[in-house]
Chain A
């Protein structure tokens, strides 16, 4: 069996006086898209932020490519090849779309330094970005900002993408566009850990699924198995896929 790209073992996270993660065990296999599901407050976003080093795990281990990254500062974690698309998208609204992309490409000093082949590929995924290249990112619509957030994460090749609720607040047409883009990304063997509440969105993309509740992983397995098992969906998520279609 191959070693997972990312592995969390008994991770506990406290934020101030609050104990949010209660021993998270999670494996993210290489080259697959793992969906982290769960209701509000289950600890999904805290898990991503803890992996990214934005909040420190109070105990437990976080291994990336076999190495413990639990004590690494956020910039070092990013430099190891982990990209983050946070829930608030983290768009620099006063900067143009172009400037946002230049910042995300660490080696680039200006737009001309961006890899043209990769940029073309991104423009193919998200044509709006080409059109609004020199516009302030703050003027983009919610869906376009989400596209920019994903584009920033893929402007350079990364080992792992952490994506937090990309479908949140977006119109169905934009969600379909994002699904198509993530499908393209999967073809590049990029490993993705995707937090979602929209089960229909998650079902269309996920290879693996982990369900969180009360700061723990309460189920982990193949997405196909959960998608076919209505009783399990009811038990874990309090829903059935039928009610979401």
Chain B
């Protein structure tokens, strides 16, 4: 298809060029986080308690983000509501139980580096197996119901119930303890404030996942395709890319992230039950709705908001904490009905 490029005619070289509107980053949702934290300070009263609560909220938010990030991309790319997402979280948590309890000398060591070396295979095994399960889940359950939202809800919820029962067959119906590795236990005391060590690890891992996702989405061609596909998948196909393959990749990655989140959530709860994923599923949907369906940045802010509000409410008004996530969602959607960072779709 080689061709000779013609010389330009004067008519083609002299169009009228207008100015563009200035590019402005929408900072308001970002400002919600410090605004919320500062608003909570006088209510909490004690600075040290406030620091503890804020760190706990951020850590919880980071783990929620890890679990929810795949869910928002899956919806954004193919309009698939995966109500079975929780089964990957449950599987990840149970795999963490199996891997970590099989390495008692590593997890009971007082050295942080040895504990991290024990955590690494737990994370890797959980991600590999939940990613593999995600591949099977997409092939067998999601693929036949593309474009049929009601059937998607029914079949993915059914898939989660079957998955939970299979987990009971493998690990038993009872809740299993998942103690933190020795060096993760306890707190770092800064002045009068105590910050749990494990929460610091969760914040670091959450930031790492967010940075990695931002790099992939912003700096790689695969990321470009995902962002473009979220907006207009028909046009992506018209450019010659197979969006279904891309979707399978995103679904597998999202499932693996849910598995990773499951390990972290299990360690956060320190007890793992077969319903751990189902219990957190609704919270994940609240987060991705708050963030704007399909938006990774929105999901990140939404997860941190949910984590902070949950912790502040738990301290200030424990009864309100039971429905604080719903209140937060109502407040955000009253302000921005499409979520914090709505994704423009065609």
Which A residues are within 8 Å of any B CB, using their own CB? 52, 54, 73-75, 78-79, 81, 84, 86, 88, 90, 92-95, 99, 102-104, 106, 108-110, 117-118, 121, 124-128, 131-132, 135-136, 138-141, 144, 152, 156-159, 173-174, 176-177, 180-181, 183-184, 187-190
A109 to B2, CA, bound (A): 21
Query: B15, A75: Cβ atoms under 8 Å?
Result: no
CB within 8 Å of A: which of B1-39?
A: 1-6, 8-9, 11-13, 15-18, 20-21, 23
Interchain nearest-CB distance for B114 vs A (Å): 40
Query: CB within 8 A of A90: which of B8, B232, B240, B243?
Result: B232
Also in contact, A88 and B346, with CB within 8 A (given A127-B17, A135-B20): yes
Query: B16, A189: Cβ atoms under 8 Å?
Result: no
Interface size class of B (residues with CB under 8 A): 35 or more
A225 to B343, CA, bound (A): 48
Query: A139, B238: Cβ atoms under 8 Å?
Result: no
Query: CB within 8 A of A126: which of B4, B15, B231?
Result: B15
Interface centre among B8, B228, B234, B240 (most CB of A within 10 A): B240
Q: Is B331 an interface residue (CB 8 A)?
A: no
Query: B5, A102: Cβ atoms under 8 Å?
Result: no
Query: B234, A54: Cβ atoms under 8 Å?
Result: yes
Query: B3, A188: Cβ atoms under 8 Å?
Result: yes
Is chain B's binding surface mostly helix, strand, loop or mixed?
Answer: loop
9 nearest A-B pairs in the assembled complex, by CB-CB distance? A90-B235, A78-B240, A157-B1, A180-B11, A187-B6, A180-B12, A74-B237, A177-B15, A124-B8
A-B contact pairs, 6 of them (CB 8 A): A78-B239, A86-B238, A90-B234, A103-B224, A138-B344, A140-B20
Query: CB within 8 A of A74: which of B3, B224, B238?
Result: B238
Query: CB within 8 A of A125: which of B12, B16, B238?
Result: B12
Interchain nearest-CB distance for B298 vs A (Å): 12
Residue of A whose beta carbon sits closest to that of B241: A75
A35 to B346, CA, bound (A): 27
Q: Is B319 an interface residue (CB 8 A)?
A: no
Residue of B whose beta carbon sits closest to that of A128: B17
